[in-house]
């Protein structure tokens, strides 16, 4: 053989690398197979689950199609909830009665499937999100069934079903405007609260980034606190109404506190600050007692404290009281409100080490500025009900009280 000739492999079979050739995507055949299992077992979900488990169906590829069969009874057209060609079964969620007793078995059935095939949770999420995005295409009765299923799904904690991705589609403007979302979410709330606490519901709404404002569920024409209260009260969801009212109240308090803090930082005139408080009280209908609490907090927060120098801290606090006495006087208009102010001073002095020894001096200053009346101070001293540091504060206030009592006797 010449050195230039190349060896040949005549008569030798050349092995080629095998390639993984993907099976053609065929969701229609998969859907028909699942539907047939439903039909063969007359919708008995336990038998359906057993037959699905023993089948060789490719759930990892056709997970979305599988849940479409559960909810709709068959495969849907791509990108829609409209039925596609193929077999259907009459045992779907959409076809059953709109009651928890009838729908709960379907939820438990799905739960069993997910325990055996946890990877399907993403497919369930996809299909539920698609259906909630398309609520307007369902009949009212069908939307109620979906609301009940969704509530029971979260109640049963289906393998970590994420509220943030399932519920967010509800806030589509067109669905909200038509009142569809409000009806759905009301059914959802009512169903979920049968087995769960309000705190559990709030937790789900927080995770779904929907907790801050229930007004988002209402059409724009009805987007008022009064409408929220009336609607959910009529729906028998009074605890939710109370929670929402509290949230709104807290927001209004925060807004007033922020406005006052800014004005104090900018050294606004007392008259301007008083008008700001009056306007917030009028607009938000804030209780007088909350106004007094906020005023004291804002005034004390505005002080530039000097660390451990007790005398400087005392001087700063007393100057603040004297400077803003007119503001406190304007809103401490009764013995009850004056007493509440004393309790605020008591609690702050108890909880803040740098103010612990300033209680009698602050009370004396408030008296000198005509913010606290003599009767209020004596009532606190003799019958005060707040126990935080009371024993020490009563003792420290004894000399001043004794002076008040002596002055009272002389009169």
pLDDT in tens, the chain (411 residues): 444 555 444 454 444 454 444 444 588 899 999 999 999 999 999 999 999 999 989 999 999 999 999 999 998 877 667 767 778 899 999 999 999 999 999 999 999 999 999 999 999 999 999 999 999 999 999 999 999 999 999 998 876 788 888 888 888 899 999 999 999 999 999 999 999 999 999 998 888 888 767 889 999 999 998 999 999 999 999 999 999 888 888 889 999 999 999 999 999 999 999 999 999 999 888 899 999 999 999 999 999 887 667 788 888 889 999 999 999 999 999 999 999 999 999 999 999 888 888 899 999 999 999 999 999 999 999 999 999 999 999 999 999 999 988 876 666
**Alpha-carbon distances of 272 from 145, 245, 328, 347, rounded to whole Å:** 56, 29, 14, 29
At residue 237, the pLDDT reads 95
Q: Where are the alpha helices (DSSP H) in 134-235?
A: 140-155, 163-166, 173-177, 180-195, 198-207, 225-234
Query: What tokens were used for 1?
Result: 């053989």
At residue 44, the pLDDT reads 94
Tell which CATH architecture fits domain 244-407: Alpha Horseshoe (1.25)
At residue 157, the pLDDT reads 83
Asked if 274 contacts 325 with a C-beta cutoff of 8 angstroms, the reply is: no
Residue 144: is it exposed, middle or buried by C-beta count within 10 angstroms (0-12/13-18/19+)?
Answer: buried
The span from the CA of 257 to the CA of 260, in Å, is: 5
Q: Which residues, in sequence order, are bridge partners of residue 76?
A: 83
At residue 20, the pLDDT reads 46
Q: Where are the alpha helices (DSSP H) in 352-384?
A: 359-368, 374-383
Q: Indicate yes or no: pTM above 0.85.
A: no
At residue 308, the pLDDT reads 67
């Amino acid at each position: 053989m010449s050195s230039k000739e190349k060896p040949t492999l005549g008569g030798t079979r050349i092995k080629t690398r095998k390639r993984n050739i993907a099976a053609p995507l065929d969701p229609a055949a998969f859907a028909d197979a699942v539907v047939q299992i439903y039909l063969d077992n007359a919708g008995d979900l336990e038998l359906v689950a057993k037959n699905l488990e023993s089948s060789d169906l490719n759930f990892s590829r056709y997970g979305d199609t599988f849940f479409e069969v559960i909810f709709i009874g068959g495969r849907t057209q791509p990108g829609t909830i409209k039925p596609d060609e193929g077999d259907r079964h009459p045992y779907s969620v959409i076809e059953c009665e709109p009651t928890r007793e009838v729908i709960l078995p379907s939820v438990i059935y799905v739960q069993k499937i997910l325990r055996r095939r946890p990877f399907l949770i993403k497919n369930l999420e996809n299909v539920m999100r698609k259906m909630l995005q398309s609520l307007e295409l369902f009949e009212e009765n069908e939307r109620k069934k979906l609301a009940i299923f969704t509530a029971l799904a979260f109640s049963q904690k289906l393998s970590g079903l994420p509220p943030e991705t399932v519920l967010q589609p509800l806030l589509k403007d067109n669905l909200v405007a038509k009142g569809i979302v409000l009806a759905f979410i009301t059914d959802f709330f009512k169903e979920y609260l049968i087995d769960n606490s309000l705190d559990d519901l709030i937790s789900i709404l927080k995770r779904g980034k929907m907790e801050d404002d229930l007004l988002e569920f209402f059409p724009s024409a009805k987007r008022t606190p009064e409408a929220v209260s009336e609607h959910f009260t009529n729906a028998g969801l009074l605890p939710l109404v109370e929670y929402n009212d509290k949230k709104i109240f807290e927001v209004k308090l925060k807004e007033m506190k922020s406005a006052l803090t800014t004005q104090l930082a900018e050294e606004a005139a007392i008259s301007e600050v008083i008008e700001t408080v009056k306007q917030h009280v009028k607009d938000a209908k804030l209780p007088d007692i909350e106004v007094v609490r906020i005023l004291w907090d804002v005034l004390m927060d505005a002080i530039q404290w000097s660390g451990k120098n007790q005398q400087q801290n005392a001087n700063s606090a007393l100057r603040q009281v004297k400077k803003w006495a007119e503001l406190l006087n304007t809103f401490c208009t009764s013995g009850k409100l004056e007493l509440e102010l004393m309790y605020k001073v008591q609690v702050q002095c108890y909880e803040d080490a740098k103010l612990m020894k300033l209680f009698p001096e602050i009370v004396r200053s408030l008296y000198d500025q005509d913010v606290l009346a003599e009767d209020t101070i004596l009532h606190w001293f003799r019958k005060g009900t707040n126990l935080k540091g009371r024993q020490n504060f009563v003792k420290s206030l004894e000399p001043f009280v004794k002076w008040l009592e002596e002055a009272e006797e002389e009169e």
